[in-house]
Amino acid sequence: MKQEMMEIVNQVELAPRIFEMTLKGELTQEMVTPGQFIHIRVPREDLLLRRPISLAEINHDNQTCKIIYRVEGDGTRAFSHCQVGDKLDCLGPLGNGFDISMIEEEDVVYVIGGGIGVPPLYELGRRLKEKRANIYFLNGFASKDVMYYEKEFSELGSLFIATDDGSYGTHGHVGMLIDDVSKKTTKPKAIYACGAPGLLRAVESTFSDHPHVYLSMEERMACGVGACYACVCQSKKDPNVNKKVCDEGPIFKAGEVMI
Ligand code: FAD
Ligand code: FES
> What confidence tens digit (pLDDT) does each residue in 191-228 have?
999 999 999 999 999 999 999 999 999 999 999 999 99
In a domain, 259, yes or no: no
Write the DSSP symbol of residue 226.
Answer: S
CB 81 less than 6 A from any atom of ligand 1:
no
Please name which of 58, 69, 72 lies closest in space to residue 30, comparing C-alpha atoms.
58
| ipTM above threshold 0.95 | yes
The C-alpha atoms of residue 252 and residue 139 are separated, in whole angstroms, by 20
Closest atom of ligand 2 relative to the 226 alpha carbon? 4
Whole-model pTM: value is 0.97
Angle, helices 197-206/175-184, rounded to nearest 10 degrees: 30
* 79 and 115 inside one domain: no
63: containing domain: 2-94
Q: Is 51 annotated as a binding residue?
A: yes
* 11 and 74 inside one domain: yes
Q: How many A from CA of 27 to the centre of ligand 2?
A: 21
Which residues are bridge partners to 22 per DSSP?
A: 10, 66
Q: Are 138 and 115 in contact (CB under 8 A)?
A: no
Among 29, 63, 94, the domain boundary falls at 94
> Of 243, 246, 248, which is best to mutate to test ligand 2, by the most ligand atoms within 8 angstroms of its C-beta?
246
Confidence band of 175 (pLDDT split at 50, 70, 90) = confident
In a domain, 100, yes or no: no
Residues 49-53 have a mean pLDDT of 98
* 115 and 86 inside one domain: no
